[in-house]
Structure 1
Amino acid sequence: MVDQFFEEQAEQSQIKAEIVTKYFLVWSKVIIAAQKRYGRENRVAYIDLFAGPGRYRDGALSTPIMILQTALQEPDLCERLVAIFNDKDEANTESLQQAISELPGIEKLKHKPQVWTGEVGDHIVQTFASKTLIPSFLFVDPFGYKGLSLQLVNAVLKDWGCDCVFFFNYNRISMGLNNDSVIPHMQALFGATRAAALRERFNQTSLRPMEREAFIVDEMTQALREMGGEFVLPFRFRNPEGTRTTHHLFFVSKHFRGYDIMRGIMYDHSHKEQGVAKFEYNPADARWPSLFDLLRPLEDLEEMLLEDCAGETLPMKMLYESHSVGKPFVLKNYREVLCRMEQEGKVTMDRPCPPRKRGTLAPDVQITFPRR
């Protein structure tokens, strides 16, 4: 089955690789700019612990090669990137090493990419946990769930500038919660107490598939937040028919800026209704755009703002960063709704110096909401 997985790059795998590669590029520019400004460490790392081969058998590039190609176009990354790739399958690491060696310009990288062969287990977690890591972007994409754990994510996320994206195989995890043989894996993923509570909930309650999914994703989100990953963003993938969820891509960060950057990238790859992203890739949406319910239509944002911010005056930057977390609305949604609310006299906006042009929303514009 694993061999079949690498036969060709499915459309979903391509979307996943694009999301990861785009975030890595923007993330690295933000980190490098901060390093230059404050004289910090002059390296950044990309770590992929389930890297796979260099190419799929149809010739499509794998994520590691896309990452390196991106780095080779950026002089700062050529100087600073430390790339670490791992896979338990020696055939995959040999394929990846060969593909790396054939990349035009690979010699421009100051630090030669490292390719490891081995299982992802406690030794890797302990290695990361025992060191202060350079700013690192960790991508964890296991075939199932073995090797993925809260401890692994936290071992990287603990240090400055470190973010993580991991593949969350919802179907296998949903089945595994009531499977005695994989209890240790469920405990590693959710924590022992939370995994036991999840198991008990499923044994005592009859949940519909949509409720079951929402419950599991929410528990995963809460587990990540409790360990310090304040900003968590799941992105759903559905099967080709659009009838069921196959997996999620989870992004975890300690900083709003990373969260907002990734939200913008996921927004671009998501189906939208009335300008609001559903934060899912659904192949069926192109054929049947009304197949699934909306998460929150854009009209809801106005009422939410009037309720949540009643009687307050807030600068646009603070409002967006505090109010948008956990909601499907991006910055342009807020700008559109707030400018409309100003035109309708529902809020007032002020920017003493320099004078503000009506219809614009700079970060320092003060927005006053009426009392309710």
Structure 2
Amino acid sequence: MLTGSALYAAAVTAPGAAWWEMLLPATWGAWMGWTTPITRSAGVIAIPDAPTAEAAPAQREYTYPEALAAMWEAAPDLPPGTRLTGIRQFDPAAPDFDAVVVAEVGRAVPTFTPAGLAAAFDFPLGSVTVSPIPGSGPGRMALTATPTLRAAAAPRTFPQMWRAWVSDPGGVAPGMEMIDHRLEEDRLVGRIQAPEGKMIRLPQQEIARALGMKDAELCMVETDGLGDGLVSVYREHPLMDVREATVEDLTMDSLGRIRTGLRHDRRFAYLNLYDPTLGAMTDLIVGAPGAGKSVTLHTIMIGERISGVVSIAADAQNGMSLPEANGRVYHFGAGRAAVLATLAAAYELAQHREKISSANGWSGFAINDPWP
């Protein structure tokens, strides 16, 4: 057909062409179009075969060890230059396994982070560990991955957690054994005992951290200062709802005590205003601004007034810290000069009473007898 088209174009463009010269190329093109299928089928003209799509290779299923080795090699958080060999799955139904980490020839296995090891297999943090192989050099290390076995073996009861994370060697309070415990409505209570001949040691914040608590104030520690203690773990803060003190709370009992509040276990907290064997008590209240020093002093002075105990007070801040006490105690001084004068007067009064007591042979006294 290309040949016929060329003849036609030549005939049209040549001047003075005869009619048959124009008809010849068209006739030739028609003839070529009719004979093309015949010539191709007879093999006269070679036609290349149409390209066919290649069949995709079949996907090979990896075994579990092969998949683990590939995950290790592709892990971005692991140092390069090691490979995972000798992989042994403990149970076909569980992902736990052990293996050998092999470094390049002449090199030691690098140090891995717990997060990097766990991320390599998408296992829980801490469930993949690396340790030396007895009798082997630093170029080979044992790897153990126990995500399900570790979860199954995790301590679940209060005594188990205490033993695993607190009292066992490596815990925050080694040797401090839990000998009894009980579950109450809002707390767990454990009775702790130190080893024979040892002093009790129960670091409150470290214990709270070891038990996985988010708020250390939910862990309360009490000891007798010798060998026994109590540890309470609360669900909610025990002192979020505390009532106001009553007249009954602030009335001194036969032991010279008033109730100034509640302990974490809802028992009363006591403060001695007077001790039958020692007399009046001396206390020092220290705290940061806003800690409650003034409220505590007010509570004590209310208890003294209710119980008939004389109160001598002075406020270095011109009465701003203890405004309610002014006019309600035996003596009140406002300002720095008044504080110094009050202390000096109290000292002179004590000296005077001491001379009289000595002259009369008084070695002790009862409340309001002989002195108010």
**TM-score w.r.t. structure 2 length?**
0.24
Higher RCO (CA 8 Å, separation ≥ 6 residues):
1
The structure whose residues are more often strand, as a share, is 2
The structure whose residues are more often helix, as a share, is 1
